[in-house]
Amino acid sequence: MNHVTALIIKTALVLFVLLVVLSLANGYPAWNTIGLSFIVVGAAYIVGDMFILRATNNWVSTIADIGLCTLVIWLIGPLVLNEAVPFFLAFISALLIGAGEWFFHKYVANAILDKNTKAYS
């Protein structure tokens, strides 16, 4: 049940950022942006939150999430959005997501990960 709550929080964060940055500010279709959001959430939750955060700390996991989100938005985005996504736009989106991820990781470290992991810094 904790994973469901975490996924809902993460989806809301990513969905909000991508809808504002991609759809409202840059005219990408909202439905396609929602689809891209789910892809970003799936990749970032598995890689960044379940593996990297568990093995390292909040700083490393947040930086990894920014990099992963940038690459997913930039490389997978055109396949979902049917238009190219400039690297700078993908990076700005990822930075905003990363700002929220910093706080989200603190929740994940306390509510989901084992207390024996190092994910508390």
By the 8 A CB rule, do 41 and 9 touch? no
Show the tokens assigned to 69.
Answer: 């989100």
pLDDT per residue of the chain (121 residues) written in tens, 0 to 9 = 688 998 999 999 999 999 999 999 998 999 999 999 999 999 999 998 888 988 889 999 999 999 999 999 999 999 999 999 999 999 999 999 999 999 999 988 888 776 555 544 4
- Report the b/e string of 45-74 with b at 16+ CB within 10 A: bebbbbebbbebbbebbbebbbebbbbbbb
| pTM of structure | 0.87
Based on its alpha-carbon atoms, the radius of gyration of the chain, rounded to whole angstroms, reads 14
